[in-house]
Structures are given as C-alpha cells and as structure tokens.
C-alpha cells in the first residue's frame, strides 16, 4: 500500500479507541472493510476513512488548530500504565517524562495537573473492598494455589 499513511491508535480518556492524525478521530461507522471516523472535537466537520491500518480518505475542514500528537500519546501511555501496573503514579509519570527529549518534555502537562485524573483512572481497575466476610466471593483463579491445588472442602463461616 504505497502512498497511504499508517494509522496510530491510542486510548482516549474515556477508554475508547481513537487514532491520531494531526487531530484525534473517534470511530463513527463501520461499513465492510472501511471504518469511518470523525474528529473528536465538538462541532468539527473533520472526517476520515480507514481500511485496515491505512488512511484512505481525509475530508472536511477542522474548525480548530491541530492537537499536539506527542501529548495525546504521552497521556495515553500514562493511562495504560496506570491501569496495568501498581507502580506509584509519580514514578510512572517520572519514567515516561524521562523518555522524552527535553524540548518535548517541557510541553507536557505537569504531574499535579494530571494526577487526579490518573488516580480516578486507577480506581476504576481496583475492586471495591468488601464490607463484611459475607461479601467475600472467591471464584476461578482466586480459589487455587500457585500449584493449581483447589480444596473442595467448604468451611462454614460463623457470624
């Protein structure tokens, strides 16, 4: 597919898949092998069509300046690591900011400005603590040891 631009997918703040091409696009329709996308900004007429991982058509005029794709990528990476790791958020932020060049790192949002959003994002992946022993419900892998042993003996709990 010579001459076609490759699509770069990231996850938005709300958890949906978007792609970056000077602006962020959200999925609008799927028709056969073609996926139609629209600009993520409200009241913007920018549209795009992709086939597989390649951009087929860009239409419409954007009513806003282009987004900085490095910032979108940076925030998406922070959200992904926040969801998947138990590392402290400040350490994740420092690790990701250190991977950037000095000029790009200056334009990134500071940790205090993104910390509350990252903590909220992390809370979504942590289960709620039970209020009593009756609320504890162990299923699947949580009922087995690392050796795969699963005891069929049920211990009656007393209140």
Instruction: Report yes or no on 29 lying in a domain.
Output: yes
Could you tell me the end-to-end alpha-carbon distance of the chain, in angstroms, rounded to an integer? 67
In a domain, 118, yes or no: no
Task: Convert the pLDDT of each residue in 32-75 to its tens digit.
Answer: 999 999 998 889 989 999 988 888 888 888 888 888 888 888 99
What is the model's pLDDT at position 155? 40
- Does a structural domain hold residue 22? yes
Token pair listed for 77: 């990476």
Residues 108, 97 contacting (CB under 8 angstroms): yes
Which pLDDT belongs to residue 97?
A: 94
Gap between the Cα atoms of 73 and 42, Å rounded: 20
With respect to residue 37, please indicate whether it lies within any of the assigned structural domains: yes
Residue 24 CB-density burial (10 A; 0-12 exposed, 13-18 middle, 19+ buried): buried
The pTM assigned to this predicted structure is: 0.68
Predicted confidence at residue 144, as pLDDT, reads 76
Residue 24 lies in a domain: yes
Q: CB neighbours of 44 closer than 8 A, spacing ≥ 6?
A: 23, 38, 60, 62, 63, 64
pLDDT value for 158: 42
Task: Provide the CATH number for the domain around residue 16.
Answer: 2.20.25.240
Do the domain assignments include residue 111?
Answer: no
Q: Which domain holds residue 38?
A: 8-59
Residue 48 lies in a domain: yes
Going by C-beta distance under 8 Å and a sequence separation of 6 or more, which residues neighbour residue 51? 33, 34, 35
Domain count within the chain: 1
Residue 34 lies in a domain: yes
Give the per-residue pLDDT at 15.
75
Alpha-carbon 18 to chain mean position:
10
């Amino acid at each position: 597919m010579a001459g076609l631009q490759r699509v770069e997918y990231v996850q938005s703040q709300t958890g949906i898949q978007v792609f970056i091409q000077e602006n962020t696009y959200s999925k609008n329709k799927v028709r056969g092998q073609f996926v139609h996308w629209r600009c993520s900004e409200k009241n913007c007429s920018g549209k795009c069509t992709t086939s597989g991982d390649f951009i087929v058509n860009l239409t419409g005029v954007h009513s806003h300046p282009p987004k900085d794709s490095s910032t979108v990528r940076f925030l998406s990476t922070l959200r992904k690591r926040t969801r998947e790791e138990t590392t402290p958020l400040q350490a994740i932020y420092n690790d990701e900011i250190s991977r950037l060049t000095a000029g790009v790192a200056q334009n990134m949002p500071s940790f205090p400005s993104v910390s509350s959003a990252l903590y909220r994002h992390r809370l979504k992946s942590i289960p709620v603590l039970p209020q009593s022993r009756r609320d504890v419900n162990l299923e699947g892998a949580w009922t087995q040891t690392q050796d795969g042993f699963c005891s069929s003996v049920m211990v009656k709990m007393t209140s």
